[in-house]
Amino acid sequence: MDDKELDDFFRKQSEHPDIPYREEDWEKLRKKLDASPKNNGAKPGDKGWYIGLLILAMISGIGWGWKYWEEKQPDAVANIQSIVASSGDGKLTEGPLGITDKEDLKSMNGPVRHGLGPLDSPQGIAQTESTQSLKEETAMMQHEVSAFSKSMSGPLPDQRSVIRAVGSRQPVEPPLPDFPNAGYEKAQLAGLPDKNGSIRQVPESAVKERKNIGRRFHTTLTLAPDVSALKIKDIQGLGNSIGLNLEYFFHPKISINAGALYSFKTYQAGEGYSTGYVPSPSHVNGNCWVLDLPVNLRYYAVGQQLSKWYLTAGLSSYLMLKEKYDLEYKSYNYGGNAYGNSLEVQNKNKHYLNIINLGIGYERVLTDRLSLQVEPYLKLPLQGIGEGDISLKSAGAFVGLKYGW
Amino acid sequence: MYKQFYSYGMSVSLRYTNNRDEAVEVLNDGFMKVFSHISQYDADKNFTAWFRRILINTAINYHKKNIKHQHLGLERLPDSPALQQSALDELSYQETILLVQELPLAYRTVFNLYVIEGYTHEEIGTLLNISVGTSKSNLSRARAHLRSRLTQNHQEGATRHGR
């Protein structure tokens, strides 16, 4: 028997299978389908388990940051609130230490108090008004207060309350957490001493704003060139990303970031890489339009007031808006001729919290509200991405203009 | 669907595996891929050809490490007398499959890909990451082994018949 006869025999035998069906084999498949990740929740050791832990850590971090913030708010804030609570009808209210304004004024010392008459008499007020130094002081203060007038529903504080605040030597500048731009905020809101060392009025609206001091919220408009590939040597073409990022500081150096990026990713893969395709193509050209929804923690590790370095880590969700693939197969069955196929899907694949985000960035303060950020990043998938279940990695550099609220 | 293509799928996977349990595993893995990638199936083309390729890829991946590094026996095969066609006619499908499954993995895979699927040695070399020479050598040894086993079976059958 030669080779041909032998081959023909086995070929012929394989053409007529008669294998009876077994229910137990279907049961095995059914169990496999039930146990597939798509049908199950997270178990210890699964990716979902780690994601849950990360979210728990984030929530804990926010809670801790909140508590830290609360503890850092001294009673002085409440004191200031009661100090400025004097009404506009000339009546004096009780101070935070149980001392009336009148008593407080009587005990005042310093240049502003000097020359003032009794406050509870018209003559006293007139005397006050006639004092040149107080006029200048009052004019300065009114000018400053006018900046807040839009947010104040009532009339500007009368002279008594102004004088009361000027005369008060209360520690109106409590220690504050050093949130971004906090120095500027402190100067504006807390009533810094003027050239003469006098403490100025803090408007009520500004006091309320103290709770949000340091601009906890920031929005960043982000642009980024993006390269995507399964392996570095396969990098081709340049994608891009554009989007918005919302940043919230729950700690002076740590913020939580959430955003939305519209990304275009282009890549190619050679044989053996895209095993998710069935059957495996020998070559793939892929173009994907992705809505990237990142949730990151950012740590401002190093820096001064004007320039900082930070680290970013977190997870992204990819919503695959559109995927276009050019697939090339080597046909082993039909003479070895390569043939191609195109594949396009829309809004089909969604990968929730499936991509690790890593970045290291530099921030430069431009004005009191604007900063420029540059952040090289890396995005690593935890699971296969897109229709082909490919391990699509991305890298690039975010360039962002950040605005503090 | 599982019932409909069960027999066909098993006939493919049995040839690439060592036993029935492995064949069922490859078959079910293949069905899992079919279910999860059904969108990639071109309805204008033959489903069985697509399914067959999935099964072959699955079977090759199942044994990929072993195919390349398996220690190969059969370095010295006994010379077998001429085997007549009549001897082959007596074999059932089951017996044929058992003969194929007896082959070492590397020989069996090359034999199946070349003889049954129609791949060239170059294609097999690329698919299994082996040289063309190795592919040819494995095919040759697979054939020799099968001849030997068929002859042996035939002789045993003749002996039983003579008693």
Q: Which residues pair with A328 in a beta bridge?
A: A283, A340
Q: Residue A9 carries which side chain, given as an amino acid letter?
A: F
The alpha-carbon radius of gyration of chain B (Å, integer) is 17
Q: What is the pTM of this model?
A: 0.42
Q: What Å distances lie between residue A196 and A101, A109, A192, CA to CA?
A: 22, 13, 11
Task: Look at residue A117 in the predicted model and tell me its pLDDT.
Answer: 40
Task: Compute the nearest-CA separation of A46 from chain B (Å).
Answer: 20
E strands, A53-121, are: none
CB contact under 8 A, B35 and A33: yes
Q: Which residues from A are below 8 Å from B57, CB to CB?
A: 278-280
CB contact under 8 A, A16 and B100: no
Q: Locate the chain B residue with the closest alpha carbon to A278.
A: B54
Question: Which of the residue ranges A112-116, B51-55, B103-107 would you say has the lowest mean pLDDT?
Answer: A112-116
Q: What is the ipTM of this complex?
A: 0.78
Q: Phi first, then psi: what are they for A57, rounded to 5°?
A: -65, -40
Q: Which residues from A are below 8 Å from B37, CB to CB?
A: 277-278
Task: Look at residue A71 in the predicted model and tell me its pLDDT.
Answer: 63
Percent of chain B with pLDDT over 70: 77
Average pLDDT over residues B98-119: 89
Task: Compute the nearest-CA separation of B7 from chain A (Å).
Answer: 5
**Pairwise CA distance, residues A361 & B37, whole Å:** 40
Residue with the bigger pLDDT between A303 and B146: it is B146
Collapse the DSSP code of A205 into the 3-class scheme (helix H, G, I; strand E, B; otherwise coil) and give the result: helix
Contact B108, B16 (CB under 8 A): yes
CB atoms within 10 A of CB A319: 15
Task: Compute the nearest-CA separation of A325 from chain B (Å).
Answer: 11
Q: Which of A33, A278, A333 sits opposite B40 (nearest CB)?
A: A278
**Pairwise CA distance, residues A45 & A52, whole Å:** 11
Task: Look at residue A158 in the predicted model and tell me its pLDDT.
Answer: 45
Task: Look at residue A47 in the predicted model and tell me its pLDDT.
Answer: 58
Q: Phi first, then psi: what are they for A227, rounded to 5°?
A: -115, 140
**Pairwise CA distance, residues A42 & A64, whole Å:** 26
Identify the segments of chain A with pLDDT beneath 50: 40-41, 75-131, 134, 145, 147-177, 183-191, 193, 199, 207-213, 275, 332-336
Average pLDDT over residues B28-51: 82
CB contact under 8 A, B49 and A333: yes
The residues, any chain, with a CB within 8 Å of residue A279's CB and separated by 6 or more, are: A329, B50, B53, B54, B57
Q: Residue A347 carries which side chain, given as an amino acid letter?
A: N
The answer to whether residue A19 neighbours chain B at the CB level (below 8 Å) is yes
The answer to whether residue B34 neighbours chain A at the CB level (below 8 Å) is yes
**Pairwise CA distance, residues B97 & B111, whole Å:** 13
The answer to whether residue B152 neighbours chain A at the CB level (below 8 Å) is no
pLDDT(B45) > 60: yes
Distance of CA A246 to the CA centre of its chain: 4
**Pairwise CA distance, residues A250 & A247, whole Å:** 10
**Pairwise CA distance, residues A226 & A289, whole Å:** 12
**Pairwise CA distance, residues A252 & A250, whole Å:** 7
Task: Look at residue A154 in the predicted model and tell me its pLDDT.
Answer: 44
How far apart, in Å, do the first and last CA atoms of chain B sit? 49
Task: Look at residue B97 in the predicted model and tell me its pLDDT.
Answer: 84
The residues, any chain, with a CB within 8 Å of residue A115's CB and separated by 6 or more, are: A127, A128, A131, A133, A134
The answer to whether residue B60 neighbours chain A at the CB level (below 8 Å) is no
